[in-house]
Amino acid sequence: MLKINGNTLTIPQVVAVTRHGERVELTAQAIENIRRARGWVEEIVAAGEPVYGVNTGFGIFADRRISAQDSAKLSRNLILSHAVGTGEPLPEEVVRAAMLIRANTLAIGHSGTRLVIVETLLEMLNKGVTPIIPSQGSLGSSGDLAPLSHLALVFTTDAKDREEESGQALYKGRKMSGKAAMEAAGIPRVALQAKEGLAINNGATFSAAIAALAIHDAENLLHVSEISLAMSLEALVGVRAAFDPRLHAARHHPGQIAVAESIRRLTEGSTLIDTTDRVQDAYSLRCGPQIQGPAQETLEFVKKITEREINAATDNPLLFGPKTAISGGNFHGEAIGMAMDYLSIAFSEIGGVSERRVFRMTDANLNLDLPPMLVDTPQAAGLNSGMMMPQYTAASLVLENKALASPDSVHSLPTSAEQEDHNANAMTAARHARDVIRNTTHILAIELYTAARALDIRLRDHPERQMGVGTGAAHAKIRAEVPYQAGDALWGPEIERVRELVRRGEFGVRSVETS
């Protein structure tokens, strides 16, 4: 059972809840903090002094006073009017991550919701009610207003309790109205009160949810990219000198040093490396640490940003004591938007250099006496196409990643009659980063598959040689899943099976901490 308090949520815990169904509850301190902040809201309502979002309109209408008797209607109207997202639904795991992060945000005790709001979110998580949320329509400033409003539709209501205003949700594998899903799970829906609508939908929570899951998957890919580099290095009978620790220590970059160390460890005992008279390899092999090391350091930085964000109070205003409500901009998603742009760039490069190694292994002019396109024998070329098309697929995904990695956070359009004149575009950045990670997973699977085939052919022709301890173990894992086939075959499903090994973390994960 995970206990959340608003301050200590980690990315592995987000993954445990969203992908593995770990249950969640509040700590006693979190309950106390929520109740205290709610008391402050009630004092503000009773006093009647204007406080943004409590008894005023929103955005451009911040100067419009709202009576105390209309405060609940104000919250309900906010949710109804802002649930205008579009596009394909977000994956269930992203929605569950957002629910957990939003509950954690409210548990800090600066937002002023009642305890029942947070407990309802957690009960939905624990019982498996997952709102269906459109993936497009958020600028990530004033947070993810549309996605969070679609989330709120499912578990909130009003006196009319219209089913058509309850959104949609998944429950036990079935799609139904939000009202029906909550009834089936035995969870009462909640009528919002003062400030609660704004507390629920104000913050870059879906952006942070996508970021947290993308970072978890990216950590896995870092280690896989080292394995694929090491396997390609051996398949192309590369030169060990480029990974000498003295060389990397002279440049001081910890990510570069760590990648070089990983390659040395993976290739320990290899008698394929250093078997030619070449003094150096092409950049995609020789500069692997210099290319993949920065991605590790970028990921470490992005992870720190995201773990701060999933433990942040992000609505507006925030409450800090009796009659102390401070208006600001913690909802602005710039931090997550920039971080996801960095992640996209880093892993676009991981995929790009991986594809270059696939290309070298398939080109008979570059692969050092391996058959063209890695057909079984040179005589089979023509009748068989070998690894020609997997390289096409890798190249296509690399080109797509280049477009996806174009920074989103530098693009802004004003909204709300120029009141919100600089927006973060954070959720688009996060969605694109997730796509880059997915594409890079497939590119690395293609490299692993191609390198395994190249090693089979190389060792068949030179049976006296052997792979390193790490590369040999990775090769054995691949071959246990997909045996070598001499002639052309339906490669696609086999590559998908290797991709699934990667996705499940079957090759292990090395920590990204470099400092």
Token pair 């943004």 is found at 52
The class level of CATH for 2-203 reads mainly alpha
| Low pLDDT (below 50) residues in the chain | 511, 513-515
What was the pLDDT predicted at 514? 40
What was the pLDDT predicted at 515? 36
What lies within 8 Å, CB to CB, of 400 at 6+ separation is 435, 439
What lies within 8 Å, CB to CB, of 246 at 6+ separation is none
Token pair 């990216």 is found at 218
Q: Is 449 a catalytic residue?
A: no
What was the pLDDT predicted at 54? 81
pTM: 0.96
User: What interhelical angle do 115-127 and 178-185 show, nearest 10?
Assistant: 80
Reference 433, options 227, 287, 221, 288; nearest CA is 221
Compute the distance between CA of residue 368 and CA of residue 349 in angstroms, rounded to an integer: 25
Classify 254 in phi/psi space as left (phi over 0), alpha (psi -120 to 50) or beta.
alpha
Q: Is the dihedral of CA 148, 149, 150, 154 positive or negative?
A: positive
Are the beta carbons of 280 and 241 closer than 8 angstroms? yes
The class level of CATH for 209-313+366-410+428-503 reads mainly alpha
Tell me the helices (H) and strands (E) count for the chain, helix number first: 18, 11
User: What interhelical angle do 334-362 and 205-235 show, nearest 10?
Assistant: 20
Q: Which helix (H) or strand (E) holds 24?
A: strand 24-26
Are the beta carbons of 292 and 281 closer than 8 angstroms? no
Are the beta carbons of 217 and 437 closer than 8 angstroms? yes
For residue 382, how far is the Cα from the chain centroid? 42
What was the pLDDT predicted at 417? 80
Could you tell me the two tokens for 409? 């956070």
**What residue ranges do the domains of the chain occupy?**
2-203, 209-313+366-410+428-503
Token pair 């992000």 is found at 314
Rg of the Cα atoms in the chain: 26
Q: Which amino acid is at 228?
A: S
DSSP-derived secondary structure for 297-330 = HHHHHHHHHHHHHTTS--SSSEEEETTEEE---T
Could you tell me the two tokens for 234? 């051996």
Token pair 């999933």 is found at 310
What was the pLDDT predicted at 228? 98
What lies within 8 Å, CB to CB, of 94 at 6+ separation is 18, 133, 206, 209, 210, 213
Could you tell me the two tokens for 99? 């629910």
Are the beta carbons of 354 and 449 closer than 8 angstroms? no
Check residue 4 and report its DSSP letter.
Answer: E
Buried (b) or exposed (e) across 355-366, using 16+ Cβ within 10 A? Answer: bbbbbbbbeeee
SS3 at position 415: strand
For residue 447, how far is the Cα from the chain centroid? 22
What lies within 8 Å, CB to CB, of 268 at 6+ separation is 468, 469, 470
Are the beta carbons of 223 and 101 closer than 8 angstroms? no
Residue of 52, 171, 342, 449 marked active site:
52
